[in-house]
Every structure is written in structure tokens, then in C-alpha cells.
Amino acid sequence: MKIHHKVAFPLAAAVFALLVFDTVVRLVTGHWTPVTDDQLGSALTRVAISVLVGATFGALLFVVFRERAAFAAGNRVVRLCRWPLLVGLGLLVFMFAVPPSVAAQIPEVVRSLIGSLTLLLTFVTAMVIGLATLRHNPLGLGARILVAVPIVFGLAVLLMAIDSPVGSPAPVTGLAALGISLLGASTRHPQGRRPVVAAAIS
């Protein structure tokens, strides 16, 4: 169990838990929460959520950076996916690091372009990694989690198509973050110790 997994996994788990909470609230009440709507909640709440999410993306970026050897042990698709994932996560970190006052000065078309590029580079790449490691998986538990991302994405698209109150890509983000946080982590320690998830939360 490596230190970058121990840092990234709890952060990703916290983001995932917040997104699940948001989904449950929308299912019960039909209303959004400050987790996915930055127009709601106090300024302190918005800052806290932004710091958490920004720190999470930073930790995920470090995981992908440090797990070069694990990616190198994969097939050609896995090896090629590492760089787009690094760029996408880097863009996410940049977006959360830019003060709102500065972001407001960026033209809407530029922000939309960056957002679309980030979505493509990060979450689509994460889905590809999950599928590309089905037969040979050098990326451990994280890749197994990423296998579920296309399924959750398809369900999210279906729910949005029927205008469901829980139709949102947010759960896809949370699940992808969980998977990326554990890329390169084995389900068991080489010497037979506890599973990596148990070690991460101890």
C-alpha cells in the first residue's frame, strides 16, 4: 500500500459519499444540494467543497504520475491512456485552483471548451482503461472499479433522457475518482496482508 493511495482514496471516498448524498436528496426531495449546485449553500460550504474536490483531483493526478510502472506493464491501450488522463486531471486541478473572480473573466466559450476537453480526457479515458484491463490487469483494484464506470454512465444518460430527478453525471465522477485513486494498488499486499481498501481507511 503506497502513500499516494492512502492519501487519494479517502479523499475520493469523501467526494463519492457527498455525491451519493446529493443523489439521495434529489431522489427524495427533487432538489439539488450545494454538492452539485454552487449557487446553493453558504460561501463557507462552497469553499469547503471546492477545496475537497480540488485536493482530490490533485491527489488523483499524483497517483497516475507515480504509477508509471503499472501503466507500462499494461497493453498498448493502457499505456497510451496514461498521458490523456494526466492532462485531464491537470486541467481539473487548474480549474479548481483558479479563483472565481479570475474564472469569471474567461469567455464562456473557452470555459465550455475546457470543460468538454476535461470530460473527454479524464472520464472517457477512465472508462477505456477499465475496459482495456479486463483480460490483463496490471492496475489492480482501481481498474476493476473503472470497469463499472461505463455501466453507471449509461444509466445516468438513460435517467437524464427520461428527465429523472436523479439523472446526473455526478455519480460517474465519483466512481471514476474512486477507481483512479486505487490505480496500481493490488487487492492484496504481496505478502498476504489486508486488502488495500481496508489498509487505506485504517
198, pLDDT greater than 80: no
Stretch among 37-51, 59-73, 100-114 having the lowest mean pLDDT: 100-114
188, pLDDT greater than 60: no
180 or 101: whose pLDDT is higher? Answer: 180
A 10 A CB-CB count for 67 gives: 24
DSSP 185: B
User: What confidence tens digit (pLDDT) does each residue in 56-94 have?
Assistant: 999 999 999 999 999 999 999 999 999 999 999 998 998
Q: Range of 183's domain?
A: 3-200
Q: What's the half-sphere exposure (Cβ side, CA atoms, 13 Å) at 190? A: 3
Distance CA 199, CA 196 (A): 5
A 10 A CB-CB count for 139 gives: 28
Task: Put residue 74 in one of left, alpha, beta given phi > 0 → left and psi -120 to 50 → alpha.
Answer: beta
**Phi, psi of 78, rounded to the nearest 5 degrees:** -60, -45
Round the average pLDDT of the chain to a whole number and report it.
85
pLDDT at 167: 75
Find the length of the chain: 202
Q: Number of structural domains, the chain?
A: 1
Query: Which three cell numbers mark 45?
Result: 460550504
For residues 22 and 33, the answer to whether their CB atoms sit within 8 Å is yes
Of the chain, the percentage scoring pLDDT greater than 70 comes to: 90
143, pLDDT greater than 50: yes
SS3 at position 134: coil
Per-residue buried b or exposed e for 109-135, using 16+ beta carbons within 10 Å of the residue's own CB:
eeeeeeeeebbebbbbbbbbbbebbee
The model carries a pTM of: 0.85
